[in-house]
Structure 1
Amino acid sequence: MGASSLPWKIIIFSLFCSSCAAYQRYKGLYPSAFRVKRGAAPLVNPVFQNSVNDVNLLYEILLDGLQLEDEDGQFLVQDKELASLRKTHKFEVIYEDIIPKTVPEVRRLIFALTKGKGVLRREDFERTVLTLVYTANKIAQANTTHQKDAWAECFISLYKTIKYDLTLR
């Protein structure tokens, strides 16, 4: 162990620490993505959109009458054929297990998004857009003006975050 090996160790240690910090930042945005309740390994950190066909499928699901919350508060796709697809099941897992559902959770996400620097990863961008869709739905469902205002504030902040991210790309 000479003095010449010491700089390499410092460089390797620095790279390791920076990659761990980056991993924690991404894990911090949507921590539930790394502990999906379904228990299936392929559903840990799931991503819905991997191709143009997936984008078209998402559009078809949304257009065909997706109910983000039915009477039981669950995700429901009206079309039985669309509901039976594996990709729809993955979307359901993302919706039910990963997307924040309360104003405090969404505000925590917004704070983490504004703290972060740089372009969002693909899965984080997708989840942020889906959270935006969820907040729009909650504005429409809100019973009081206080609830509407709280969800509208979240919606506007998420919109600004997405818009800013798009200007970085």
Structure 2
Amino acid sequence: PPKPPQEAFDACASAAEGDVCTVTFGGKSHDGKCVRGPDASAPLACAPPRPNPPQEAFDACTGSAEGDACTVTFGGKSHDGRCMNGPDGLACAPPHPPPHAKGPPKEAVDACANLSSGDACAVQLGGESHDGKCVNGPHGELPIACLPNDMPPPPPEAP
């Protein structure tokens, strides 16, 4: 995850962990709590509260136990997940795959089947031929695939 802005550290400079804080950045004030990062020796930073899951996520876990499989529907789409215990109770939490969870198109993977990362390639997409180069996903987790020269690389995983 990205490092908090300096203003978040400044807002908790003389506070204790868990204290309420207010931080201003981008011209807007945000209320939060002073928390430490993943490293216990990290300085405190003012973090806004996480948004609560929608009611549908809680409803999907009614009568379930933590870790049970669940399905929740948001915006007309169903998502499988697991019931997770949060500050407001048990809620269905879908897995958070990277933005390109489905991976590159099969044609792009096939175009690099016998090539290495960085090699030149050509792929047929949408009825058009595209020259490109073979690349892995942003964290190396996707199969090697032909990225057309006229397309941006896949974005890194969101925090």
What TM-score does the superposition give when structure 2 sets the normalisation length?
Answer: 0.23
Highest RCO, 1 vs 2 (Cα 8 Å, sep ≥ 6): 1
Larger CA Rg, structure 1 vs 2 = 2
Relative to its length, the structure with more helix (as a share) is 1
What TM-score comes out, normalization by structure 1 length?
A: 0.22
